[in-house]
Chain A
Amino acid sequence: MNKRWLAALVATGALIALAAFGAAARSSGSQSGGTFRIGTSSRIDSLNPYVAFNQDAYNTFEYVYPFLIQYDKSNSRFVSDFATSWKPSNGGKTWTFKTRAHAVWDDGKPLTAKDAAWTINTDLKYASGGAANAAGLVAHIKKASAPNATTLVIKYSKAPGNVLGQFQQLAILPQHVWTKFTAHKGNDLKTYSNSPLVGAGPFKLVKFKKNDIALFQRNDSFYGEKPKADGFGLRMFSNEDTLVAALKAHEIDAIESVPGTAIKTLRKSFNIRTAPGVDQTDFIINSNTKKTSHRELLNAKVKEAMSHAVDRKQIIKVVFLGYAKPASTIIPPATGAWHNPSLKPEKFDLALANKLLDQAGFKKGKGGIRVAGGRKMSYAVITPTDVPSTNRTFQILQPDFRNIGINLTQRALDSTAAFDAMTAPDNKYLKFDLALWDWVGLIDPDFMLSVVTCAQYGGWSDSGYCNQRYDKMYSQQQLTPNQAKRKQVVWKMQKYLYAQKPYIWLAAQDAVWAVSKSWGGLVPSPQGPFNSINKLSLTRVHQQ
Chain B
Amino acid sequence: MRGADYIVKRIVFALLTVFVAITINFALFRLAPGSAVTNLARVPHATPETRLAIKRQFGLDKSKWQQYWIYLGQLFRGNLGVSFANSQPVSSNLRTALINTLPMVLIGTVFAIVLGTLTGVIAAWRRGTKTEGASVTTALAFYSMPTHWLGLMLVILFAGVLPTGGMSNEFLLNPSFSTHVKDLAEHIALPSLTLGLVLYGEYTLIVRSAMLETLGEDYILTARAKGFRAGAILRRHALRNAMLPIATLIALSLGYIVAGAILVETVFSWPGIGRAVYDAVLQRDYPMLQGAFLLLTVSVVFFNLVADLLYFKLDPRITT
A residues with a Cβ closer than 8 A to B are 3-4, 6-7, 10-15, 17-19, 21-23, 25-32, 35, 37, 45-46, 48, 51, 53, 127-130, 132-133, 135-137, 139, 169, 187, 190-191, 193, 207, 209-213, 215, 233, 235-239, 241-243, 245-246, 248-249, 251, 386, 413-421, 423, 442, 447, 450, 455, 458-460
Shortest Cβ distance from A214 into B: residue: B170
B63 within 8 A of A: no
CA distance A17 to B47 in the complex (A): 53
For B53, what are the chain A residues with a Cβ–Cβ distance below 8 Å? 128-129, 132
Q: Which of B84-92, B216-224, B226-234, B297-305 contacts A (4 or more CB under 8 A)?
A: B84-92
Shortest Cβ distance from B37 into A: residue: A458
CA distance A26 to B163 in the complex (A): 18
B245 within 8 A of A: no
Q: A25-B168, A30-B171, A212-B167 are in contact. Are A416 and B189 (CB under 8 A)?
A: no
Q: Are B46 and A459 in contact (CB under 8 A)?
A: yes
Q: Are B188 and A29 in contact (CB under 8 A)?
A: no
How many whole Å from A474's CB to the nearest CB in chain B? 12
- Which of B164, B184, B189, B283 interacts with A242 by CB under 8 Å? B164
Q: Are B46 and A132 in contact (CB under 8 A)?
A: yes
Shortest Cβ distance from A136 into B: residue: B45
For A37, what are the chain B residues with a Cβ–Cβ distance below 8 Å? 171
- Which of B159, B181, B271 interacts with A212 by CB under 8 Å? B271
For B39, what are the chain A residues with a Cβ–Cβ distance below 8 Å? 53, 416
Q: Are A251 and B38 in contact (CB under 8 A)?
A: no
How many whole Å from B134's CB to the nearest CB in chain A? 17
For B174, what are the chain A residues with a Cβ–Cβ distance below 8 Å? 28
Q: Which of B107, B167, B169, B189 is most buried by chain A, counting CB atoms within 10 A of its CB? A: B189
For A245, what are the chain B residues with a Cβ–Cβ distance below 8 Å? 155-156, 159, 164
B96 within 8 A of A: yes
CA distance A466 to B314 in the complex (A): 71
CA distance A242 to B187 in the complex (A): 13
For A386, what are the chain B residues with a Cβ–Cβ distance below 8 Å? 282
Q: A17-B107, A51-B86 are in contact. Are A211 and B271 (CB under 8 A)?
A: yes
CA distance A400 to B47 in the complex (A): 39
Q: Are B165 and A239 in contact (CB under 8 A)?
A: yes
Q: A22-B184, A51-B86, A191-B88 are in contact. Are A242 and B47 (CB under 8 A)?
A: no
For A35, what are the chain B residues with a Cβ–Cβ distance below 8 Å? 171
Q: A11-B189, A45-B85, A417-B34 are in contact. Are A22 and B180 (CB under 8 A)?
A: yes
- Which of B50, B103, B167, B275 interacts with A238 by CB under 8 Å? B275
For B275, what are the chain A residues with a Cβ–Cβ distance below 8 Å? 211, 238
- Which of B52, B156, B269 interacts with A239 by CB under 8 Å? B269
Q: Are B190 and A10 in contact (CB under 8 A)?
A: yes
B316 within 8 A of A: no
Shortest Cβ distance from B278 into A: residue: A238
For A241, what are the chain B residues with a Cβ–Cβ distance below 8 Å? 152, 155, 267
Q: A213-B170, A238-B269, A245-B159 are in contact. Are A129 and B57 (CB under 8 A)?
A: yes
How many whole Å from B58's CB to the nearest CB in chain A? 10
How many whole Å from A368's CB to the nearest CB in chain B? 33
B residues with a Cβ closer than 8 A to A are 32-35, 38-39, 41-54, 57, 82, 85-88, 96, 103, 107, 110-111, 152, 155-175, 177, 180-182, 184-186, 188-190, 192-193, 265-271, 275-276, 279, 281-284
Q: Are B38 and A416 in contact (CB under 8 A)?
A: yes
Q: Are A27 and B168 in contact (CB under 8 A)?
A: yes
Q: Are A460 and B42 in contact (CB under 8 A)?
A: yes
- Which of A10, A13, A207, A215 interacts with B162 by CB under 8 Å? A10
Q: Are A26 and B172 in contact (CB under 8 A)?
A: no
For B182, what are the chain A residues with a Cβ–Cβ distance below 8 Å? 11, 15
Q: Are B284 and A416 in contact (CB under 8 A)?
A: yes
Q: A48-B87, A51-B87, A420-B35 are in contact. Are A450 and B45 (CB under 8 A)?
A: yes
Q: A10-B162, A28-B174 are in contact. Are A459 and B265 (CB under 8 A)?
A: no
Q: A132-B54, A213-B170 are in contact. Are A26 and B177 (CB under 8 A)?
A: yes
16 further A-B pairs in the complex, CB-CB below 8 A; given A238-B165, A251-B163, A442-B44:
A3-B161, A7-B162, A15-B185, A22-B181, A128-B49, A136-B44, A238-B267, A242-B155, A245-B164, A413-B33, A416-B283, A419-B42, A447-B45, A458-B51, A459-B51, A460-B42
Q: A28-B174, A30-B171 are in contact. Are A133 and B43 (CB under 8 A)?
A: yes
CA distance A194 to B93 in the complex (A): 15
CA distance A225 to B275 in the complex (A): 39
Name 24 interchain pairs, CB-CB below 8 A, sorted by A: A3-B158, A7-B161, A10-B162, A14-B185, A14-B188, A15-B181, A21-B184, A25-B167, A26-B175, A26-B180, A29-B172, A30-B171, A132-B46, A135-B50, A190-B57, A212-B170, A213-B166, A213-B170, A238-B165, A238-B265, A249-B164, A419-B34, A459-B41, A459-B48
CA distance A424 to B64 in the complex (A): 19
How many whole Å from B276's CB to the nearest CB in chain A? 8
For B279, what are the chain A residues with a Cβ–Cβ distance below 8 Å? 211
Minimum-distance CB pairs A-B, first 3 = A136-B45, A416-B34, A211-B271
Q: A238-B266, A460-B46 are in contact. Are A416 and B35 (CB under 8 A)?
A: yes
How many whole Å from A244's CB to the nearest CB in chain B? 9
CA distance A19 to B158 in the complex (A): 23
For B54, what are the chain A residues with a Cβ–Cβ distance below 8 Å? 132
For A415, what are the chain B residues with a Cβ–Cβ distance below 8 Å? 282
How many whole Å from A201's CB to the nearest CB in chain B? 20
For B46, what are the chain A residues with a Cβ–Cβ distance below 8 Å? 132, 135-136, 459-460
CA distance A455 to B182 in the complex (A): 57
How many whole Å from B100's CB to the nearest CB in chain A? 8
How many whole Å from A409's CB to the nearest CB in chain B? 18
Q: Are B189 and A14 in contact (CB under 8 A)?
A: yes
Q: A14-B107, A19-B181, A251-B164 are in contact. Are A136 and B47 (CB under 8 A)?
A: yes
CA distance A238 to B265 in the complex (A): 8
Shortest Cβ distance from A50 into B: residue: B87
For A236, what are the chain B residues with a Cβ–Cβ distance below 8 Å? 269, 271
For B156, what are the chain A residues with a Cβ–Cβ distance below 8 Å? 245
Q: A191-B82, A193-B88, A239-B269 are in contact. Are A11 and B186 (CB under 8 A)?
A: yes
- Which of B51, B103, B163, B170 interacts with A18 by CB under 8 Å? B103
For B49, what are the chain A residues with a Cβ–Cβ distance below 8 Å? 127-128, 135
- Which of A129, A239, A458 interacts with B267 by CB under 8 Å? A239
CA distance A114 to B19 in the complex (A): 53
Q: Are B165 and A237 in contact (CB under 8 A)?
A: yes
Q: Are B170 and A187 in contact (CB under 8 A)?
A: no
- Which of A130, A133, A193, A209 interacts with B170 by CB under 8 Å? A209
CA distance A213 to B156 in the complex (A): 23
Shortest Cβ distance from B148 into A: residue: A239
For B276, what are the chain A residues with a Cβ–Cβ distance below 8 Å? 211
Shortest Cβ distance from A189 into B: residue: B87
For A215, what are the chain B residues with a Cβ–Cβ distance below 8 Å? 170-171
CA distance A417 to B32 in the complex (A): 8
CA distance A246 to B187 in the complex (A): 12
CA distance A493 to B111 in the complex (A): 63
For A419, what are the chain B residues with a Cβ–Cβ distance below 8 Å? 34, 38, 42
How many whole Å from B149's CB to the nearest CB in chain A? 11
CA distance A442 to B44 in the complex (A): 10
Shortest Cβ distance from B188 into A: residue: A14
Q: A14-B192, A22-B180, A239-B267 are in contact. Are A128 and B50 (CB under 8 A)?
A: yes
Q: Are B48 and A455 in contact (CB under 8 A)?
A: yes
For A133, what are the chain B residues with a Cβ–Cβ distance below 8 Å? 43
Q: Are A191 and B87 in contact (CB under 8 A)?
A: yes
For B110, what are the chain A residues with a Cβ–Cβ distance below 8 Å? 17
Q: Are B50 and A132 in contact (CB under 8 A)?
A: yes
Q: A51-B86, A136-B45 are in contact. Are A27 and B269 (CB under 8 A)?
A: no
